[in-house]
């Protein structure tokens, strides 16, 4: 039977390889025609690989006890990927118990991380921690508040919302990748991918809004 170190090595390999493939597919999805066959296929594979990244990341934190900062990055990427997929799937803002439950579990996990980081001392850059948590809370709280938006008006919002969340999941994954590979350059190795994600969110949101207005 493999020992714990061997299992941890296998878990790291699965985590890194699935994350790298997810990033490549995410780039392909961004560059392909939105709504086209290749965009949808790459998006599905991206979500599947994100699931592997999340699972292996959680195993690394809770089973192998490594780098608990991965928890908050995993939460941000996971929630935005889940919510972005649900937005595309439902295309409405009707309250759903599952979606509310996932949001509550995400917020509870984020508060656990915040408590943990305060207990052991802030060993990671506060800029990265608080900005990541702030982005996570912003998305979750928006998802709860959107139930108050009229269904008619929300029909104009679901597509930009899907774009924002999926690019957010991609940039969170890229930030985690860059922060790990270029650890000596933190926090900039994580801030810059996040900034790139914001620029992409703004660009594609404006682009889709202009396209919708012309139709």
SS3 142: helix
183 burial via Cβ count (<10 Å: 0-12, 13-18, 19+) = exposed
pLDDT of residue 2: 66
Residues near 101 by beta carbon (within 8 Å), at least 6 away in sequence: none
**89-120: pLDDT as tens digits:** 999 999 999 999 999 998 988 888 777 766 65
Q: Which two tokens stand for residue 35?
A: 């709504």
Nearest-angstrom CA–CA distance, 26 and 166: 9
Confidence bin at 161 (pLDDT 50/70/90): very high
Between 1-5, 25-29, 146-150, 157-161, the lowest mean confidence (pLDDT) is in 1-5
pLDDT of residue 150: 94
33 φ/ψ sector (left φ>0, alpha ψ -120 to 50, else beta):
beta
Confidence bin at 149 (pLDDT 50/70/90): very high
**47-88: pLDDT as tens digits:** 999 889 888 887 887 777 666 666 677 788 889 999 999 999
pTM value? Answer: 0.87
**170-192: pLDDT as tens digits:** 998 888 888 778 878 777 888 88
Most confident of 35-39, 108-112, 158-162: 158-162
pLDDT at 148 over 90: yes
Residues near 73 by beta carbon (within 8 Å), at least 6 away in sequence: 57, 132, 172, 175, 176, 179
The runs of H, that is alpha helices, within the chain are 4-31, 37-62, 69-90, 97-120, 126-145, 151-154, 158-181, 188-214
In the predicted model, what is the mean pLDDT of the chain? 84
Q: Which two tokens stand for residue 21?
A: 């493939």
């Amino acid at each position: 039977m493999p020992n714990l170190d061997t299992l941890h090595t296998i878990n790291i390999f699965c985590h890194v390889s699935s994350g790298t493939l997810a990033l490549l597919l995410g780039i392909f999805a961004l560059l392909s025609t939105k709504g086209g066959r290749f965009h949808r296929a790459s998006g599905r594979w991206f979500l599947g690989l994100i699931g592997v990244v999340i699972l292996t990341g959680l195993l690394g934190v809770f089973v192998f006890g490594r780098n608990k900062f991965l928890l908050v990055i995993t939460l941000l990427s996971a929630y935005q990927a889940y919510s972005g997929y649900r937005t595309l799937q439902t295309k409405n803002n009707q309250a759903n118990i599952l979606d509310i439950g996932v949001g509550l579990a995400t917020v509870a996990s984020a508060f656990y991380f915040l408590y943990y980081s305060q207990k052991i001392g802030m060993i990671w850059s506060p800029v990265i921690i608080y900005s990541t948590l702030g982005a996570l809370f912003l998305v979750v709280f928006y998802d709860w508040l959107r139930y108050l938006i009229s269904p008619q008006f929300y029909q104009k919002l679901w597509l930009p919302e899907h774009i924002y969340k999926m690019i957010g999941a991609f940039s969170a994954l890229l930030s985690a990748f860059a922060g790990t590979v270029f650890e000596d350059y933190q926090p900039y190795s994580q801030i810059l991918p996040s900034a790139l994600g914001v620029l992409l969110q703004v660009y594609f949101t404006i682009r889709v809004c202009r396209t919708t207005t012309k139709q």
